């Protein structure tokens, strides 16, 4: 947290200084009463600065006392306002910085982290937990600092007036401190639990709302509602436990304080009756004690806000201190601008290293070449593409662009050289044009239209009322599956990267569109390195080389016609899909 506070040290120090002034003004508040009681009513001689009031009648002294009391309140109103505003504003900005940092980190964290954490819970961290840390900060600055200062000030003044009585009043402090420390730990634990439950609830809601069609299609509303209610009750239960701990703390603190106050009252009466103290001074002491109550109570309330903040801070540090991201090597260099080869050597990888998905995979794609990766579902084709993008680091083996291992390249430059059409094309909430431009944000309209025409986006978009400015909804819900795929393809084509990774680019397309999209891909592949994953042997037939993956290993490799002639898995599949292959493919001139 210290790093987040540093940029605002000036605002924070000014508000702390103002808090100090406010405290002193607060400490001066009871003294006009002493003037009124001892000098105006009791007729005692005026001493100290009050000597300047000499000659005033009692009513005049009372007026001065009253005006003084009003002035003190007025001044402390101004300092109070400035303190609240300055520290509140600083806390808002610190909260914004914290949110930005958490968001930045969330975007950088590897898919492995996101596989484990649910997005709904992460959103609650970003919003709810940051607010709680911010609240704790405000409370700390606006209340805790002045309260502690006030307490110290009160004790100093009380000690000056009557050390004996102060000692008695302080009897309550050690048990209070012990109580506070114990409760803080308990409250923090309870709050952590409550926040985790709230995160679970948010994750569940985010998930079912995102898949609300599935919930409705399977008539699962009632079951979902029941599950939600159960989790919701869980949230209430954990929050109540935390609340109970917080609520118990106040009365216990009050009792301790009241005991101290009772002792002082008794002692004070003895002093006044034995003539060792004036009634005015006793009133001041008692009023100090009463005002001791305020800060101590508010500090006890604070303890729970701070404990909440501490629980939320832990949840944020889990994100901020996670090192689960693909970091650039210190001596990383940018990837070559126009790489000619992409080489994969003996790549072994498992999401769980004990169960490898890919075993010693080796392959090479050269510029101008289209390589098709085929294989049964779940053999690890998409996984291989993720590794090429360095979304994960392999357990063994290397991936190299023009011979330089991608671990030695900056991740940003590596990913700039690659355009991906993912198996599940992600469409963002925005217009069709925005979605295509996501591939290259600085592209102009003509370039976007070009890519859209090549990827066959144009025909269906021109039928839409707002054309390219049609908003497609969250996840592209307003588009059909095939349309989404074509938008994703246009996005990748617009990117214009030397490496093109296509994961099932034609699934969900009718035969005619599939042919058209394949033509588009063939065109785009010219001068690039293209690796296309497909279950369609029609697509494979177009490739220069086919790699067959079985159980995470490349088991067959060669030109499509060669593989069919040789007989094997690929030849069997061809027979199953009844694809007639040209006996020798005309090389495309590139």
Ligand X SMILES: Nc1ncnc2c1ncn2[C@@H]1O[C@H](COP(=O)(O)OP(=O)(O)OP(=O)(O)O)[C@@H](O)[C@H]1O
Site of interaction with Mg ion (CB under 5 A): 382, 423
- Return all residues near 180 (Cβ < 8 A) that are at least 6 apart: 249, 253, 299, 300, 303
Instruction: Kindly tell me which residue out of 271, 315, 381, 440 binds ligand X, with binding defined by CB under 6 A.
Output: 381
Nearer to ligand X, 351 or 426 (CB): 351
CB closer to ligand X, 54 vs 355: 355
Residue 56 buriedness (CB in 10 A; 0-12 / 13-18 / 19+): middle
For the chain, give the longest Cα–Cα distance. 123
379 binds, among Mg ion, ligand X, none (CB under 5 to 8 A by kind): ligand X
Dihedral through CA 152, CA 156, CA 161, CA 162, nearest 10? 80
Q: Could you give the CA distance from residue 33 to residue 284 in angstroms, rounded to a whole number?
A: 8
470: left (phi over 0), alpha (psi -120 to 50) or beta: beta
Q: Within 481-559, where are the H helices?
A: 481-495, 511-525, 537-542
CB of residue 549 to ligand X, shortest distance in Å: 7
Q: Going by C-beta distance under 8 Å and a sequence separation of 6 or more, which residues neighbour residue 130? A: 95, 98, 99, 102, 312, 316
| Selection from 436, 435, 433 nearest residue 466 by Cα | 433
Question: Which of the ranges 131-139, 266-274, 381-389, 513-521 carries the binding residues for ligand X, by CB under 6 A?
Answer: 381-389
> Could you say whether residue 380 binds ligand X (CB under 6 A)?
yes
104 binds ligand X (CB under 6 A): no
Q: Which of 141, 357, 387, 456 binds ligand X (CB under 6 A)?
A: 357
User: Least distance from C-beta 105 to ligand X, angstroms?
Assistant: 20
* Smallest distance, Mg ion to C-beta of residue 177, A: 60
- In the bound state with ligand X, the residue whose beta carbon lies nearer, of 192 and 381, is 381
Task: Check binding of 379 to ligand X (CB under 6 A).
Answer: yes
Interaction residues for ligand X, span 481-500 (CB under 6 A): none
Residue 362 contacts ligand X per CB under 6 A: no
Q: Does 361 bind ligand X (CB under 6 A)?
A: no
Q: How far is the CB of 374 from ligand X (least distance, A)?
A: 9
Closest CA to 145 of 19, 257, 309: 19
39 binds, among ligand X, Mg ion, none (CB under 5 to 8 A by kind): none
User: Sheet holding 370-375: strands in order across?
Assistant: 418-421, 499-503, 529-533, 370-375, 545-550, 553-558
Report DSSP state, residue 53: G
Least distance between ligand X and beta carbon 357 (Å): 4
Nearest residue to the partner Mg ion, using Cβ: 382
How far apart are the C-alpha atoms of 364 and 359, rounded to whole Å? 16
**Binding at 208: pick from ligand X, Mg ion, none (beta carbon under 5-8 Å per type):** none
115 belongs to the binding site for ligand X (CB under 6 A): yes
Give me the least distance between CB of 502 and ligand X, in Å please. 12
Least CB distance from residue 211 to ligand X, whole Å? Answer: 18
Please tell me whether residue 377 binds ligand X under the rule CB under 6 A. yes
Contact map string, positions 408 to 437, toward ligand X, x by CB under 6 A: ---------------x--------------
Token pair, residue 311, equals 């629980």
Binding ligand X (rule: CB under 6 A), the pick from 42, 58, 378, 403 is 378
The values of phi and psi at residue 464, to 5°, are: -85, 145
Q: In the complex with Mg ion, which residue's Cβ is closer, 32 or 505?
A: 505
Sign of CA dihedral 24, 26, 32, 38: negative
Q: Smallest distance from the beta carbon of 112 to ligand X, in angstroms?
A: 8
Judged by CB, which is closer to Mg ion: 423, or 555?
A: 423
**Cβ neighbours of 484 (radius 10 Å):** 21
Report the interface residues with ligand X, using CB under 6 A: 115, 351, 357, 375, 377-383, 423
């Amino acid at each position: 947290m210290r790093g987040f506070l540093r940029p605002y040290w000036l605002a924070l120090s000014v508000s702390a200084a103002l808090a100090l002034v406010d405290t002193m003004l607060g400490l001066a508040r009871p003294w006009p009463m002493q003037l009124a009681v001892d000098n105006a009513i009791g007729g005692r001689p005026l001493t100290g600065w009050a000597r300047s009031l000499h000659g005033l009648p009692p009513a005049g002294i009372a007026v001065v006392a009253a005006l003084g009391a009003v002035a003190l309140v007025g001044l402390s109103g101004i300092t109070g306002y400035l303190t609240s505003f300055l520290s509140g504003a600083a806390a808002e900005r610190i909260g914004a910085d914290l949110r930005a940092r958490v968001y930045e980190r969330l975007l950088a964290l590897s898919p492995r982290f996101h596989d484990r954490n649910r997005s709904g819970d992460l959103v609650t961290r970003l919003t709810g937990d940051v607010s709680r840390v911010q609240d704790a900060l405000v409370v700390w600055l606006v209340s805790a600092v002045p309260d502690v200062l006030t307490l110290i000030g009160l004790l100093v003044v009380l000690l000056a007036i009557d050390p004996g009585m102060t000692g008695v009043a302080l009897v309550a402090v050690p048990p209070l401190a012990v109580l506070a420390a114990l409760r803080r730990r308990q409250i923090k634990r309870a709050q952590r639990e409550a926040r985790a439950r709230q995160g679970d609830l948010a994750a569940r809601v985010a998930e079912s709302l995102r898949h609300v069609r599935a919930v409705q299609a399977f008539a699962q509303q009632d079951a979902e509602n029941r599950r939600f209610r159960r989790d919701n009750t869980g949230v209430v239960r954990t929050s109540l436990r935390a609340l109970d701990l917080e609520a118990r703390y106040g009365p216990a603190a009050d009792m301790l304080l009241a005991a101290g106050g009772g002792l002082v009252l008794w002692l004070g009466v003895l002093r006044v009756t034995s003539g060792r103290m004036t009634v005015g001074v006793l009133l001041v002491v008692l009023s100090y004690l009463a005002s001791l109550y305020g800060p101590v109570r508010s500090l006890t309330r604070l303890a729970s806000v701070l404990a909440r903040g501490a629980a939320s801070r832990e949840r944020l540090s889990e994100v901020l201190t996670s090192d689960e991201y693909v970091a650039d090597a210190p001596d990383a260099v940018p990837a070559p601008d126009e790489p000619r080869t992409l080489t994969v050597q003996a790549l072994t990888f498992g999401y769980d290293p004990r169960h490898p998905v890919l075993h010693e995979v080796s392959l090479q794609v050269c510029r101008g070449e289209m390589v098709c990766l085929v294989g049964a579902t779940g053999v690890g084709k998409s996984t291989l593409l993720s590794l090429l993008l360095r979304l994960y680091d392999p357990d063994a083996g290397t991936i190299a662009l023009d011979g330089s291992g991608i671990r030695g390249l900056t991740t940003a430059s590596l990913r700039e050289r690659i355009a991906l059409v993912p198996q599940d094309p992600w469409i963002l909430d925005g217009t069709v044009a925005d979605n295509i431009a996501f591939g290259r944000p600085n592209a102009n309209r003509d370039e976007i239209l070009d890519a859209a025409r090549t990827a066959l986006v144009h025909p269906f978009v021109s039928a839409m009322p707002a054309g390219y400015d049609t908003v497609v909804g969250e996840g592209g819900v307003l588009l059909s599956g095939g349309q989404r795929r074509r938008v994703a393809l246009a996005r990748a084509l617009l990117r214009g990267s030397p490496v093109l990774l296509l994961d099932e680019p034609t699934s969900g397309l009718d035969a005619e569109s599939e042919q058209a999209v394949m033509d588009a891909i063939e065109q785009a592949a010219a001068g690039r390195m293209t690796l296309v994953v497909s279950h369609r042997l029609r697509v494979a037939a177009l490739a220069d080389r086919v790699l067959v993956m079985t159980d995470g290993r490349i088991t067959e490799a060669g030109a499509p016609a060669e593989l069919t002639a040789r007989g094997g898995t690929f030849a069997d599949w061809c027979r199953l899909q009844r694809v007639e292959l040209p006996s020798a493919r005309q090389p495309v001139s590139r």
